[in-house]
Amino acid sequence: MKLKLSRPIIFFDLETTSLSVPDARIVEISLYKLNVDGTHEIRTRRLNPCIPIPPASTEVHGITDEDVALEPTFTAKAQSLLNYIKDCDLAGFNAIAYDVPVLYHEFLRSGIDWDYSTICIVDPGNVFKIKETRTLSAAVKFYCDREFENAHSAEADVLATVNVLTGQLEKYGDLPTTVEELALYSNRGKKILDISGKFYENAEGEICFSFGEHRGVPAKEQASYLKWMIKKDFAPDTKKLAAKILSENCL
């Protein structure tokens, strides 16, 4: 792979109970760690979501309540998982929109405020959408010239994502090869400030609102709006950033 690593990067994929990010519970997680020296390892395990797995979800990934009845909960494994991904960048197909937010909420339910802002997140799914606009199965066919078998198994999906990013780096000579630059590219040039994307950084480096009546306005200019956000039903990390802006600007 042409990707230049300054620290390990972990490709990961989740199988869950729901497509709704706040409600989703992880039933299977697979992590493929690529080290700076080129060595790699993969870890896959199932988790008990502590809620019934909807039949519609089982139809997608094939995991039933019986399959995970004796597995540990996410909370039981949360700290060891956090230790494993610490100081590593992350990559995943559609990870920015789904897998990272789901993981964030699972950590939060376990009493852990995961600070994802210290790492880079590369999304080959977004690279594919920018370049070709397709799905993971189509990406495997396009970049790896083969059919994608066993889709929606976490380990199969994560290995497919590794192969897709490898193919993308080979195919597109204009793609950046550092994790930092590729993470920025895969999120369409925007830094991830909060998972739900309510804030973004403009060309001048100012944090602005991305929604509502103040869309495009530097957040520090709207103290009352920031205070309103903190009181409303926004994601915890969004509220945390709003409070930080208020504090840093003495508002």
**What is the average per-residue pLDDT within 86-91?**
96
Question: Based on the domain organization, do 103 and 209 belong to the same domain?
Answer: no
Distances (CA, A) of 189 to 142, 175, 203: 24, 13, 11
Q: What's the pLDDT at 147? A: 86
The residue out of 186, 220, 238 marking a domain boundary is 186
Question: Based on the domain organization, do 179 and 220 belong to the same domain?
Answer: no
Residue 63 located in a structural domain: yes
Cα separation of 191 and 115, whole Å?
Answer: 14
Residue 2 located in a structural domain: no
CB 130 within 8 A of CB 187: no
Q: What's the pLDDT at 103? A: 97
Total residue length of the chain = 251
Supply the pTM of this predicted model: 0.76
Structural domain including 174 reads 9-186
Question: Based on the domain organization, do 73 and 48 belong to the same domain?
Answer: yes
- Closest by CA to 154, choosing from 82, 84, 103, is 103
Question: Based on the domain organization, do 239 and 203 belong to the same domain?
Answer: yes
State the average pLDDT for the chain: 94
Cα separation of 219 and 193, whole Å?
Answer: 13
Residue 3 located in a structural domain: no
Q: What's the pLDDT at 188? A: 87
Question: Based on the domain organization, do 143 and 87 belong to the same domain?
Answer: yes
Question: Based on the domain organization, do 209 and 166 belong to the same domain?
Answer: no
| pLDDT over 70, % of the chain | 100
Question: Based on the domain organization, do 170 and 122 belong to the same domain?
Answer: yes
Other CB atoms within 10 A of residue 118 CB? 9
Residue 106 located in a structural domain: yes
Residue 133's pLDDT band, with cuts at 50, 70 and 90, is low
- Is the pLDDT confidence value at 150 over 80? no
Residue 206's pLDDT band, with cuts at 50, 70 and 90, is very high
Residue ranges in the chain assigned as alpha helix (H): 55-61, 65-68, 74-85, 100-109, 124-131, 136-144, 154-171, 179-186, 223-231, 236-248
pLDDT digits (tens, 9 = 90+) for 27-67: 999 999 999 999 999 999 999 999 999 999 999 999 999 99
Two structure tokens written together for 164? 């897709």
Domain count, the chain: 2
Question: Based on the domain organization, do 163 and 123 belong to the same domain?
Answer: yes
- Is the pLDDT confidence value at 247 over 90? yes
Cα separation of 30 and 47, whole Å?
Answer: 11
- Return the CATH number at 76: 3.30.420.10
Cα separation of 25 and 19, whole Å?
Answer: 10
pLDDT digits (tens, 9 = 90+) for 6-16: 999 999 999 99
Residue 194 located in a structural domain: no
Q: Which 3 state secondary structure label does DSSP give 201?
A: strand
pLDDT digits (tens, 9 = 90+) for 162-173: 999 999 999 999
Residue 140 located in a structural domain: yes
Which range among 39-43, 69-73, 80-84, 130-134 shows the weakest confidence by mean pLDDT?
Answer: 130-134
Beta pairing partners, 33: 10, 41
| pLDDT over 90, % of the chain | 83
Q: How far is CA 63 from the centre of its chain?
A: 22
- Closest by CA to 27, choosing from 83, 69, 82, 79, is 69
Compute the half-sphere exposure of residue 107: CA atoms within 13 Å on the CB side of its CA.
Answer: 19
Question: Based on the domain organization, do 106 and 211 belong to the same domain?
Answer: no
- Is the pLDDT confidence value at 226 over 90? yes
Question: Based on the domain organization, do 217 and 112 belong to the same domain?
Answer: no
Residue 221 located in a structural domain: yes
Residue type, 65: D
- Is the pLDDT confidence value at 251 over 80? no
Residue 142 located in a structural domain: yes
Question: Based on the domain organization, do 135 and 222 belong to the same domain?
Answer: no
Beta pairing partners, 45: 29
Distances (CA, A) of 200 to 53, 188, 192, 195, 196: 35, 12, 7, 11, 10
Question: Based on the domain organization, do 204 and 172 belong to the same domain?
Answer: no
